[in-house]
Structure 1
């Protein structure tokens, strides 16, 4: 596998072709599990942080730069967060992006994993709703909560998909493994007949740098804006993606850019 081929198309095509061959000769193997293992290992090998991958990420950073400039022409405020993964990240594991037992959100055009805007929105909104009510975030409850509106379309806040722009470790994508010890059959779990089966799946690797864009549709007062920007940073550091309760998706906000005020802090 190579980063120069479309990963979504290649894996989908390979899954079908291999399944047809496997159904004829190897009915006893767990096909989906075995395919997921091999595909995850190939992705890890292909997305090692070599010159090709670094060039790919440089082009994605240019795309994010262009997206930010376009957003600044439309929205009142655009804030850019640079975050670095401190642990592996998994997101959209049950999606159709990749034909794997545990999937990973994958952009079929840019050909890299990414974090969906809906996932970021959920993390940030949950943080504000929980911490404002608990008095852990200063500012007017009404002013901050109403930014999100009752629906995504009525929200003042706009979130964009977050993309990797730099890999500082050995890999951009790694193969991870979990081993469920029990499978439920007919509503019961039989410990005596348990048969642990390792599940191998792709994740974004630690030390990957992502850029997160957040915009506001209309102006807000300076105090509310400052509190909002700080709150988003804290929300992101609570974790992105799935399985955050067991240590996945831990990030550190390294820099925040607010071009409209020529503002940047680390």
Structure 2
């Protein structure tokens, strides 16, 4: 299957901004968002250098966010989601054959999701995890694994006698003795497969103090609203977790029931950033699991 990124170009048409000669790339679901945003940002900076003007990073981020929220909804988005559904089907089949055990979870956002806010490849003041090939927001496998591992560690959770290190693996820090060991669980990126209204909506934070100065001075308060992209409520992600239990003896029903329970508990408090404010709450359900030759 060809990757979505292979079908997407950059800069398919441009249009003039209102009130100036600057040109903007026409963002669409058929244009690779990563490449388009980077290119537009660089062109804007170069124009401002020539004019000896200051580039407003805040206004640029706000403009991109609003355009993304208008674009990533409707029939064209559903076409993208049909592609991610087929891809997750293939990953699920391959994972079950390769590792012997595979779980497929549906994770529906009950509140806004803000994740990977400091994406090194997306020049926005506050970013979002964006898949470079499928051209949609997603939940990275590392974020999912990290959240579950932190929960298992803090609560000393075991599944069929397997603790944190057995499930998630160990690694050797510089200067430490001992070797690295891979855990029995394998994580894959969670891709969106359905949505109620769209995949992106604007959100806002309103910092009052410059973080770089590290000083709170009430007389110098300067509220600066920052508009950034977030995943809205009602987006369902398909998450696949595989397990290599070839060297582990455990009861199938017990392992499945306990792992599902702990995954639901781990994500009950939210995933991503701003969870203390109610962001990132997910409704987790087990869609299917396969236990092959274990």
Which band: TM-score by shorter chain? 0.7 to 0.9
Give the structure with the larger helix fraction: 1
Q: In angstroms, what is the RMSD of aligned CA positions?
A: 2.0
- Normalising by structure 1, we get a TM-score of 0.88
Instruction: Measure the CA separation in 2 of the matches of 1:150 and 1:138.
Output: 16
Q: Equivalent residue for 1:9?
A: 35
Deviations for 1:1-55, whole angstroms, at most 9, x for unmatched residues? 2101111111000001111223444735x6111110000001001102x111011
Instruction: Measure the CA separation in 2 of the matches of 1:233 and 1:22.
Output: 49
Aligned with 2:288: secondary structure? Answer: strand
Q: Equivalent residue for 1:204?
A: 231
Q: Cα distance, 1:173 vs. partner?
A: 0.6
TM alignment of 1:74-223, pairs within 5 A: 74-131=98-155, 133=156, 142-145=161-164, 146-151=166-171, 154-168=182-196, 170-184=197-211, 186-219=213-246, 220=248, 221-222=250-251, 223=254
**CA 184–65 in structure 1, closer or farther in 2 if over 3 Å, else same:** closer
Deviations for 1:185-226, whole angstroms, at most 9, x for unmatched residues? 644222101111111111111100001110111244123443
User: Between Structure 1 and Structure 2, how many residues are aligned?
Assistant: 253
2:66 pairs with 1:35: no
Q: Cα distance, 1:248 vs. partner?
A: 1.2
Q: Equivalent residue for 2:263?
A: 232
Structure 2 gap ranges (5+): 1-26, 172-179
Instruction: Measure the CA separation in 2 of the matches of 1:235 and 1:184.
Output: 31
Q: Cα distance, 1:99 vs. partner?
A: 1.0
8 Å Cα contact 1:85-1:250 kept in structure 2: yes
- Normalising by structure 2, we get a TM-score of 0.80
Structure index of larger Rg: 2
